[in-house]
Amino acid sequence: MSPSVAPHIVSIAEIREAAERIRGVATRTPLLRWDDTTWLKPESLQPVGAFKMRGAYNKLASLTDEQRARGVVTYSSGNHAQAVARAARLLGAVAVICMPENAPRVKVDGVLRDGAEIVTTGNDSEERHQRALQLVEERGLVMVEPYDDPAIIAGQGTCGLEIVEDLPEVTSVLVPVSGGGLSSGVATAVKALVPSARVVGIEPELAADAKESLERGELVHWTAEQTVRTMADGLRTNSLGPLPFEHLRRFMDEIVTVSEDEIADAMRQLARRARLVVEPSGAASMAAHLSGRAPRVDGDDARVVIISGGNVDPELFLGILAG
């Protein structure tokens, strides 16, 4: 984004339009009561096992027939990849996905089931981004950004819209932060409808570029060698997208971090107490809630914790449950 160009800040009207567009495709996930003052928003129950279906379908459905006929390309460690593959199949478009060589097998298999072509790259998110850009030039494909796009942000924002519609008295929302599509969309929707509610972003300690970016007031980049240390593969982006960064600067109250042990404990508790299979990235917000890293403030008596995805490697999941 050029510094001289005003950023496109997504409106609540755009989020409502996205909600109509994805109706019947993405699941309107319920709010599950955890205790007297806490609810879970289980995006792990989406058709592709993660919230990404919202943004991906909204983006592809917004393309013209000519654009969809050219085919689409994206780059992703897994959940956005699966969502684009599914949306493309539903809308009759060819999809090419640039995925890292360390992508979880469960996510690779999901992409293949929907008939998308996979191009394997190294583990640095910028490397797969550049490979996707090459494919745009070489094959005329249309880029579907994972998070740095108003249509993606609006689609993910429907998660926040549903929270407020189902719990108008909401006082705080905990949401994981990666490239920023979900967190910026949710923060935008919640603040537009309930300005007094606190929106708190959650990152792993080992991939805390967004927290550092907001604290410094400028985009900060972490290396793949740094972010690969967290088991939360969906939160390993090197940096926020420029557009999500602008949304979070306006609408996010704060970002807190959680440890790997806290993420694992959250996965165990969600499995045992809520009967939810959750991947490490999806458990990050619950880790912040259970550990007290996101403390309640006065009057915070209606908290929603977003469980962003459930596409976990079975062996990893079993190992964590046994821990």
- The answer to whether 308 is a known catalytic residue is yes
- What's the Cα-to-Cα distance from 72 to each of 89, 132, 245, rounded to whole Å? 11, 10, 25
Residue 103 has φ and ψ, to the nearest 5°, of -60, 140
Residue carrying the six token digits 């955890």: 34
Q: What angle do CA 184, 147, 31 make, to 5 degrees?
A: 50
Question: In the chain, count of helices (H) and strands (E)?
Answer: 14, 10
Beta-bridge partner residues of 68: none
The three-point CA angle 132-136-141 to 5° equals 110
Contact status, residue 58 vs residue 23, Cβ threshold 8 Å: no
The number of C-alpha atoms within 13 Å of 44 and in the hemisphere containing its C-beta is: 25
Sorted by sequence, the CB contacts under 8 Å of residue 8 that are 6+ apart come out as 150, 243
CB 55 within 8 A of CB 151: yes
Which residue in the block uniquely carries the two structure tokens 């939810």?
276
Residue 298 DSSP SS3 = coil
For residues 93 and 116, what is the distance between their CA atoms, to the nearest angstrom? 10
> How many whole angstroms separate alpha carbon 43 and alpha carbon 320?
21
278 contacts 271 by C-beta, under 8 angstroms: yes
Q: Residues 41, 44, 52, 107: which is the catalytic one? A: 52
Find where tokens 């289980």 sit.
42
Q: Are 44 and 50 in contact (CB under 8 A)?
A: yes
> Which residues are the active-site residues?
52, 308
